[in-house]
Structure 1
Amino acid sequence: MIPAWVADMDLPTAPAVTEALLRRAAGDLGYPTWLVDPNAGPLAEAFAERMTARYDWRPDTAHVRPFSDLNQAVQAILQVWTKPGDGVAVHAPLYHPFLDTLRIMERPLRPIQMEPDGATWRFELPDLSDCRVLLLVNPHNPTGRVFTRAELTALAESAERHDLLVIADEIHADLVYEPHRHIPFATILPERTVTLTSATKAFNLGGIRCSVAHLGHPGLRAAMDAQPPFVYGSPSVFGVEATVAAWRHGDDWLAETVALLDRHRHTLARRLPAAFGYRVPEATYLAWLEVGRPGMAEVIEREARVRLNDGAPFGPGGEHCVRLNFATTEAILDEILNRLTHIG
């Protein structure tokens, strides 16, 4: 069985990260100097440096708060800012743990439906008047779309009109392919936006459990700061060390990795059987494939011995799709494609 489903890379860790963790493990594992800093000190500084250098955005480090991962951050923000029954607008299909969060927390999903449009995807903005939050996933998971400035501006205007908090999940921003460009939503609507990100996707560090929230919205910032100081936990020294090392010293590794992923996304376009509808993603290492009917992930697993994500848990628009992770070696991707050839 080849696992090509979970959003992790099948690639070695960046040497800069490994070296930083080994240095920390061989040295002081006591309380860090930043333990009582609400923004985890060096984590906020490295985040701000990276946003400035890569995206020409200068976030205020005083507005940064650490979390274990983006799911925890989304749940904490919804818990503090909304109540059961408040609508949450999200582009659909959507990252399925977010869909589970909305269901469990009783925040009704208001889908902004992604529709096929030639070689890419488009969306039409519905009425968001019954929403409290726009949960914006950009770059988008699972379609791999990178929203344009015009699209983001339209979303910002709707958020202003309906008085929405915007939670911007930008975790895939470092995995955008040329000629596309990631635009932080906080550069368009700073005082309504919470920006969530992490080094875990681009640098394959899911196990370190460390992410960043930049709380641009003053009301939400006050509400979060009114919570007990450790109610959402705090990052470990290893999580902070790995993240800072990745963001400050890992870009050579990242450039090589993105080049590999770029080749892989085009390999899929050349070699996927006709039974799979495929639009080349503009970002991420995830291929959203149309397969014509429900339940095909189970068929593919049984007949081709390749495990993919079934599209149904991704919500509206996912029923006839599967998601394939192509962040692997050329040899393994070749074997995956050879096995999929037999699926009709």
Structure 2
Amino acid sequence: MTVEDTLTDPLFDELRVADLRAGYGVKWGRVSGDVLPAWVADMDFPVPPVVSDAIGHAVRNGALGYPQWPDGNPLRAAFAERMRTRYGWEISAGDVREHTDLIQGLQLVLHLATAPGDAVAVQTPNYPPFLASITTMGRRRIDSPWLRTSGGWVPDLAGLAGAVAEHGCRVLLLVNPHNPTGRVLTRDELAEIAAIARRHDLLVISDEIHAELTHAPHEHVPFASLDADTAARTVTLTAATKAFNLAGLRCSVAHFGPRRLLALRDAQPPDLYGTVSTLGVIGTLAAWRDGADWQARLARVLDRNRRRVARALAAWAGAAADPAPEAGYLYWFRAEHLGVSGADPVAEVLARARVLLDGGSPFGADGHRYLRLNMATSAALVEEILARLAALR
């Protein structure tokens, strides 16, 4: 155990369970009694002060009327600047559009670029709302399972290429950093995926919402930044919501590489898919412009927590323990590490340990064998959750 593993931060560790239970969010609102929630991807931490200050100032100064943005939504230029400074990815603000959330962006792109019956490739396990979106929109979901090796999670790129060719896929939904495994794809792996997309003329929808929570020494590489061909076939979806705990602001952005698709999107009735709120824009801009210190402190806390969960899993499963995520705050591990082997591991853990996790069959592939633990909470609550899980064994 290192010094970093024992450090605490009052901004993130002085949480009161009574306050969390009395809040407005679904994470704690879905449970009752003494159940501890560690399921949905919301953090328990307070909103960054720079965000609450900016929103409060805007409300006090009458910002709830119709916004005046003569040069277009300021999110567009701010996002382009953030990609340039963080990743060296040079994009035009004119190719950026905003949506109320990332899932809406995904569904809009699928609606415009595909038709019912078209095949969409996706690497599984994967985020359940993404999988459900493909299915409920009448598209054919083509799963390409990840491989669990002795060294950790590995994308089966040969399997992905084969699935795309066999089923005539039109689209690849890429999730990087990956949810739920937390794996960060390397530049070489992304280059192989780009080659597959080029050979089969795929539109790539790249969800990169967890990118800013990548843990050192891993590095996030925007998929569209690889080369001109990749950029021209990729729509990148992201938001400040995961990295700054702002899901309720309902604000996301999309960068459109394909010119035809952007023109098709802009030809739609302007309010058909809704518009982002003024407060969502103000909060996002505040986070991006002034939230670096808060985010740096958050990164240290999340790294500490993932190390703590990794030590617990190693104690329970030894060398068979599933690896810590390389990004984010969601830990994907086999239910058997807890002695749980039923068809519904989430329900079994809830009933026996009074902890609500996520996982199971909605994630696809072998999801029924896995659980997903949200670690974005105080050190004390992490310890209590781990103690309850340990008692299952």
Q: Identify the TM-score tier after normalising by the shorter chain.
A: over 0.9
Which structure 1 segments of 5+ residues have no match? none
Cα offset for 1:277? 3.7
1:43 equivalenced with 2:92 (yes/no): no
1:231 equivalenced with 2:231 (yes/no): no
The residue that corresponds to 1:132 in the other structure is 170
Contact kept? 2:345, 2:368, Cα under 8 Å: no
Q: Decide which of 169, 175, 179 is 2:207's aligned counterpart.
A: 169
The 4+ residue runs of structure 1 with deviation greater than 6 A are none
2: distance between equivalents of 1:252 and 1:17?
A: 12
Structure 1 residues 120-166: Cα deviation after superposition (integer angstroms, max 9, x where no partner): 21122232131111111000000000000111001101111111111
Deviation larger for 21-30 or 70-79: 21-30
The residue that corresponds to 1:55 in the other structure is 87
Contact kept? 1:277, 1:291, Cα under 8 Å: no
> Partner amino acid for 2:140?
P
Cα offset for 1:25? 0.6
Contact kept? 2:152, 2:322, Cα under 8 Å: no
> Partner amino acid for 2:325?
P
1: distance between equivalents of 2:93 and 2:246?
A: 23
SS in 1 for 2:244: coil
The residue that corresponds to 2:58 in the other structure is 24
1:242 equivalenced with 2:242 (yes/no): no
The residue that corresponds to 2:381 in the other structure is 332
Q: Decide which of 347, 355, 371 is 1:298's aligned counterpart.
A: 347
> Partner amino acid for 1:330?
A
2: distance between equivalents of 1:271 and 1:123?
A: 26
The residue that corresponds to 2:304 in the other structure is 263
Q: Decide which of 293, 308, 327 is 1:283's aligned counterpart.
A: 327
1:72 equivalenced with 2:72 (yes/no): no
SS in 2 for 1:52: helix
From the two aligned structures, give the one with the greater helix fraction. 2
The residue that corresponds to 1:8 in the other structure is 42
Q: 1:87 to 1:161 in 2, by over 3 A?
A: same
Q: Decide which of 218, 233, 243 is 1:192's aligned counterpart.
A: 233
Contact kept? 1:287, 1:325, Cα under 8 Å: yes
Cα offset for 1:32? 1.2
Contact kept? 1:209, 1:239, Cα under 8 Å: yes
Contact kept? 1:194, 1:214, Cα under 8 Å: yes
1: distance between equivalents of 2:58 and 2:368?
A: 46
Deviation larger for 102-111 or 138-147: 102-111
Deviation larger for 287-296 or 45-54: 287-296
1: distance between equivalents of 2:144 and 2:296?
A: 32
Which structure 2 segments of 5+ residues have no match? 1-34
TM-score normalized with structure 2 length: 0.85
Contact kept? 1:119, 1:280, Cα under 8 Å: no
Q: Decide which of 68, 74, 81 is 1:33's aligned counterpart.
A: 68
SS in 2 for 1:77: helix
SS in 2 for 1:62: helix
> Partner amino acid for 1:341?
A
Contact kept? 2:345, 2:360, Cα under 8 Å: no
> Partner amino acid for 1:225?
D
1:97 equivalenced with 2:139 (yes/no): no
Contact kept? 1:289, 1:323, Cα under 8 Å: yes
1:114 equivalenced with 2:146 (yes/no): yes
> Partner amino acid for 2:296?
A
Deviation larger for 61-70 or 263-272: 263-272
Cα offset for 1:343? 1.1
Contact kept? 1:265, 1:281, Cα under 8 Å: yes
2: distance between equivalents of 1:284 and 1:68?
A: 22
SS in 1 for 2:90: coil
1:274 equivalenced with 2:306 (yes/no): no
The residue that corresponds to 2:13 in the other structure is none
The residue that corresponds to 2:368 in the other structure is 319
Structure 1 residues 8-48: Cα deviation after superposition (integer angstroms, max 9, x where no partner): 001111111011001101013221112x76xx521111111
> Partner amino acid for 1:287?
Y
Cα offset for 1:269? 1.2
